[in-house]
Chains A and B, each alone.
Chain A
């Protein structure tokens, strides 16, 4: 019985990963007929790599919170807030003539973004864990709060005109490979390591499967909740740096469609909305799948709103797949 259960648990995410790979193949085959010349070029591959890390990293944050049984709707707010702070630091501290101060200012900006992201996340986690308020409500407040902070600091207009070195973070490349790909791979490895090989990662899975049981078994649920959300906030901060550098602008309303997009990525990637289940690999693959689709839409000159429409439909489809797999697993047991 026990063995069988472990078996199904291991098989379930694999169905998801197989589905994603199948969908990827479908998109690629479709594009092979529709736009073979443009789609399968090195230039296009590079342009895709420049785009997906910012929301891919956000999706990791959403994933961590969802595995812990919560949700983090404030990620876009954290992203913009940290982006604004980083932009302010870069704008005011980088001297016009360059020199070693530039590197120091950029490092300071990155560190500030990560620390502030961590603090925002920890604040969310504290309110959720200490007052026992649903994560959805707290992070919805968080979205409003952090967006409001970013809006209040900038006063509305975007902060533009960062120095070249800062812009290079998201727009530069080495030997034809964009830096952001390395950053994404580093974050991927970090998240995989945390979720798979640390006590903290296993506590997140426990908390998501059964919060009460994990408290009785000696896990400090408040601490784990705070740490989970702080971790998600750090990822939001990294993403804030990337998007600010990529767009060369920081304002409170950047990337407002990313909340839906990250939810879609995470659910499509096999993370269960009730928590406890999910794999980093699945989320990574579904990030890449969505980038493939978005890029195909772009090349076919489809409307951006068509993408929103299709994303919504896919979200429902992914949820239905979850329900179907759950039912099948229940029958088998």
Chain B
């Protein structure tokens, strides 16, 4: 009996439902467009998912710790714009380490700012990071102006042209290269998953997300843990923004703005709860896959692009409702 119940619970858990939804989506897309079923789609999906994946892991850590960070797109924009600005004003060396170093340093500064506002001053995370966001984005444009840098420095260009594998479509002869930078989200996921699961740091993040007071009484340093979550988020988001510049050949002051919605959506759909303490890397990966799939292939289902915002909102809302229902169901089962 118990075994049966466990199986049922496993089959109707959030990750499984996500997999069903994705399977149905792919099936319909494949039926409508047989071209969907080619390695090219997979490679495009991977390319499109690189940033979403990295950002989602950053956001996930903050959400698990019981906070939320809506400032990372603005911080990312600062981090991708300033190094290029420095380089184009002859104030930087042409080296991958310089670009990523400056970007991560900027992330660190804003991460510390977020950390101070949220953990020391105990401001509500949403409002505090919204303020950081407008300070970062307003300050950047005010001081450095709006330009678009579309030519990469040679070192980043060299990084861009390193490919892991290249798939050539036999029918059309188009080449679909898979960049080496896909390894960044892969390693990030593995490292964060290990840290969240097997170290005191990771367990502490779950603990403060579940109940701050209980975690404090149990001996966790709540302020330091929150600080680490926000700094990690900003620093990694900045590095991701630099990857964005490398892959997209573009660096503007507003390129990532508005991205926070999609990222939070991916986390929530993947089973993170905004109240904190719940969520996993595996779930987040599934959430990112679903969102990327929906975002990039909606036209395959015959939905015009102008309805995409609405469709993503709908997916997000259903994800939120689903995770709430699941949470209630698990609570009820515990009582039996």
Interface residues of A (CB under 8 A from B): 71, 127, 131-134, 136-138, 140-145, 147-149, 151-152, 154-156, 252, 259-260, 263, 267, 273-274, 303, 305-313, 315-316, 319-320, 323
Contact = CB atoms under 8 A, between A and B. Distances in A.
B134 A308 contact: yes
A151 B117 CA distance: 35
Given A148-B309, A305-B142, A323-B123, A311 B317 contact: no
B187 interface: no
Main secondary structure of the interface of A (DSSP, over half): helix
Interface in B106-139: 117, 121-124, 126-128, 130-135, 137-139
B60 to A, nearest CB: 15
Interface stretch (B97-105, B229-237, B279-287, B320-328): B320-328
B133 to A, nearest CB: 7
A129 B295 CA distance: 29
A177 B312 CA distance: 44
B126 A71 contact: yes
A131 B324 contact: yes
B222 interface: no
Contacts of A143: 261, 313
Contacts of A263: 127, 130
Contacts of A311: 134, 138
A37 B264 CA distance: 49
Contacts of B275: 134
A190 B310 CA distance: 33
B80 interface: no
B307 interface: yes
B316 interface: yes
Given A151-B310, A273-B124, A312 B131 contact: yes
Contacts of A260: 130, 133-134
Contacts of B31: none
Nearest to A147: B309
B268 A137 contact: yes
Looking at chain B, what size class is its interface with the partner chain?
35 or more
Contact of A274 (B124, B304, B317): B124
B309 A127 contact: no
Nearest to A154: B306
A138 B324 CA distance: 12
A316 B308 CA distance: 34
A310 B304 CA distance: 39
B178 interface: no
Contact of B308 (A137, A142, A148, A274): A148
A309 B138 contact: yes
B311 interface: yes
B127 A315 contact: yes
19 contacts: A127-B317, A127-B320, A127-B321, A133-B274, A134-B275, A138-B320, A140-B261, A141-B265, A144-B310, A144-B312, A145-B313, A148-B307, A148-B312, A148-B314, A151-B310, A260-B133, A305-B139, A315-B134, A320-B123
B56 interface: no
A310 B139 CA distance: 9
A303 B144 CA distance: 12
B30 interface: no
Sort A-B residue pairs by CB-CB distance and give the 6 closest, nearest first: A148-B310, A144-B313, A308-B138, A309-B138, A312-B134, A148-B309
Given A145-B310, A152-B309, A152-B310, A267 B268 contact: no
Nearest to B135: A312
Given A267-B127, A320-B121, 11 more contacts: A71-B126, A133-B274, A133-B321, A140-B316, A148-B314, A152-B310, A156-B306, A263-B130, A305-B138, A319-B124, A323-B123
A285 B134 CA distance: 23
B289 interface: no
Contact of A315 (B121, B131, B261, B325): B131
Residue among B127, B140, B265 with most chain A CB within 10 A? B127
B62 to A, nearest CB: 14
B301 interface: no
Interface string B231-270: 0000000000000000000000000000001001100100
